[in-house]
Structures are given as C-alpha cells and as structure tokens.
Structure 1
C-alpha cells in the first residue's frame, strides 16, 4: 500500500471516529458510508479495523455494533470509575418491577398489557407507561383479536442499553433454570400456553361470580323483607 493510500485510509478512519463521536444513537455502516461518499463494504471494513485497533491498544472505549448500527462505548473495565464520576447514574436504574415487566415484553413481544399481567400476576399498566417514557418500550399497533388492545415491543434504545444487536441476541432463559421443572415452566411461559390458561381462568372466575350473584337475586325474589332482628317465625307467632 502506498503512502498516499495509507493517508487516505487513516483520514477515513479519523472521519469515521468524528462522526461516531457526535452521534448519540448507533449509526449504520451504509449511513456512515453515505456521509463519507464511500462504498458500504469499504466502510464496514474500516469499522471492523477500528474495533480491533481499539481492543489491541486497550483504549478506554470500545466500538460496538448494536441495534443495527455502530457506536462508541466506554470500556467495561472502567465501569466503576465512570459510575462514580457520573453521579446521576442512580436515577437511571430500573426497579425490580420494571425489570420484570421489561423482560416479559422483550421475550414475548409483540405483547398486550393483559398478557403481561397474566404472566406477572399483577397489574403492570403503570410500569409499562414508565418504560414507554424511558424509551425502552414502544407501541407497535393494535390487536384486533383482543378488542384493539395496544401491542407493545422493545425499542432500539433497549437494544443499545443492554448491548444487543437485535432481540435474537437475547440470552436463553432456560440456561438460568436450576432444574427441568423450572425449564419447563419457562418454556410454557414463553410459548403463551400458561398465559392463555391464566386469562381463561380469570374469565371462568368472573362467570362464577356472575352466577352466584344471579342465584342470590333469584333466592330473594318474592320474599318479604323483614325488619332487622325479626324472623319469619316471629311473624307467624304473632298470627
């Protein structure tokens, strides 16, 4: 490679670094290539070279491909230093309820609020709204089979925050299960069978409550209401 070519390559790498530094979101290789007026394949090769160079030089930052694009990140080895420096980090932490809800949506998307409730066993509307506000979850549309209920899914910000290129990179939850029974439970939850069963059980409970109410109404039809403390036998004695 000639000196001129080397300078051109280094200049392109420098330009890529400048673009990545001013980008708050991951940028795709084709978008970067368009900004530099080079072929997407050449841009992808330069990005891969930069990634290796940073790793070999043990720099304080890394170049990663996440959420369909490229972005610079601080090196995990310096996490404690960065965390101590950025005092506002605590305000960005998610609660246990938020993490549970986010996991349900991530692994079962597209999903409605009713399905999330069926899995967690508690109303999660407020938590979902909070995740939407944080930009980790978004509305994908409506489910015509469930009364036009809103369907939710994760965002690119979610992928970026957890260092994923796509939802296909989510870890297999079964690997965290301590035994086969737990693994089977996870399979059922992710397949939706248990969710549907939960919804059906809730519907059956409502039907039973309605039947009991109807029975109570029928039992009281035609009966004369008596004053408190007075029985029907007392009324017969008076006769």
Structure 2
C-alpha cells in the first residue's frame, strides 16, 4: 500500500458522523498491520481536502467536532434545504426544540431541571431527543435520588456545525431589541 489517502477518504465517506484522526489511524493499523503516524494521516487528509476544493465537486472535507466529515458546499444549501423541507416529517416538535435548547445551554442538566424551566413534563421530548441521538446521558447527579444528567451529543455538534458548546450563540445575540419600549440608556 503506497498511500492511505483512498482508504482515509472511504472511511470519512462511510462515517455517519465526523471521524477523528485517532479512529482513522486505528482502522488503518488494524487493516494493514503497520503503524501510521499522525503526520501521515493529517497529510493525507490535507490532500483530500485540497482535492475537494475543485469547483466541479458539490462536497468538501470539513473539520468538525474534532473530526472530519464530507459536507455539501454552501452554495448547494438552498437545494438541500428543499430536500430537508420535503422530509420535514422527521422534524423536531417545538417542545423538543425547547428541551434541546435548555439541555444545550444548561448541560449537564437533569430532567427535573428542564421541567422546572419549561414548566411541563419533558419525558416524551427527552426520549425523542435520545432516539435521534441529539442528546446523551452524561452520568448521574450527586443530588438526592441520583437523577440522570443529560448533555448534547457529538451528533448535535455535527448537526449544528460547531466544534464546542461555546460556539452556540449567546442569548444576547438572539434577542431583538427593536421591540423594546422606550429609550435604552447606556
């Protein structure tokens, strides 16, 4: 085997989520019974990334959530949005979106904490978010009864195109001051 690039490209393509360099190295080493250096793998990834900068290709290699993934280039997003609208049956409900937002911003958080913020039972929403793998169980709280702690999953990071939770918009960025009454003082 001369260059691992085609194998790495196949691994990234076959991965449903972003794939880390360590995972790529493990797969290559197990398959070819030889050591692969991080430099060798990252150089191959850089070559693959360069290969997909071609204007005639609709996808690109993107570093996301501490790994690599093939994604559609931004100029094709409008047509992809139409496909996603067509498949909107799988869309999250308003309740699930609210629950997901609370978990994302307050994690690690218990179901009781989420319910106190929302003011309603969240069993169904949390179950759906777990099924869709947008949240994950992050252990148990030290509180009475040791309730389960929830947090966002790697799929959440992939879905929203972020590497860390710190990249989520701050609440101040999301508020619209145009509907406020009176003058604001600084």
Shorter chain as denominator, the TM-score bin is 0.7 to 0.9
C-alpha contact (below 8 Å) 1:30/1:43 kept by paired residues:
no
Q: How many pairs are equivalent?
A: 171
Residue 138 of structure 2 aligns to a residue whose secondary structure is strand
Work out whether residues 66 and 166 of structure 1, in 8 Å CA contact, stay in contact via their aligned partners in 2.
no
Identify the match of residue 12 of structure 2 among 7, 10, 20.
20
State the TM-score, normalized to the length of structure 1. Answer: 0.62
* Residue 154 (structure 1) aligned to one of 149, 152, 155: 152
The answer to whether structure 1 residue 33 and structure 2 residue 25 are counterparts is: yes
Shift of 1:84: 4.4
Helix, strand or coil: the match of 1:73? strand
Q: Structure 1 residues 86, 93: closer, same or farther in 2, change over 3 A? A: closer
Q: Specify which of 125, 133, 136 is matched with residue 135 of structure 1.
A: 133
Determine the C-alpha separation between the residues in 2 that align with 1:79 and 1:20.
20
CA RMSD of aligned residues (A): 2.5
- Provide the secondary structure at the position in 2 that maps to 1:24: coil
1:113 corresponds, among 108, 111, 114, to: 111
Does residue 169 in structure 1 map to residue 161 in structure 2? Answer: no
Relative contact order: is structure 1 or structure 2 higher (C-alpha 8 Å, sep ≥ 6)? 2
Structure 2 portions without partners, runs of 5+: 30-34, 181-186
Deviations for 1:136-189, whole angstroms, at most 9, x for unmatched residues?
A: 11222222224322211111111111112232322223222234xx9xxxxxxx
CA shift for structure 1 position 69: 1.6
Match of 2:59 among 58, 61, 72: 61
Report the equivalent of 1:77: 75
Task: Give the match's secondary structure for 2:41.
Answer: helix
| Greater share of residues in helix | 1
Deviations 1:10-60 (A, max 9, x none): x43323212222222321112223416421123123323432442353520
Give me the whole-angstrom Cα distance separating, in 1, the residues matched to 2:86 and 2:132.
Answer: 15
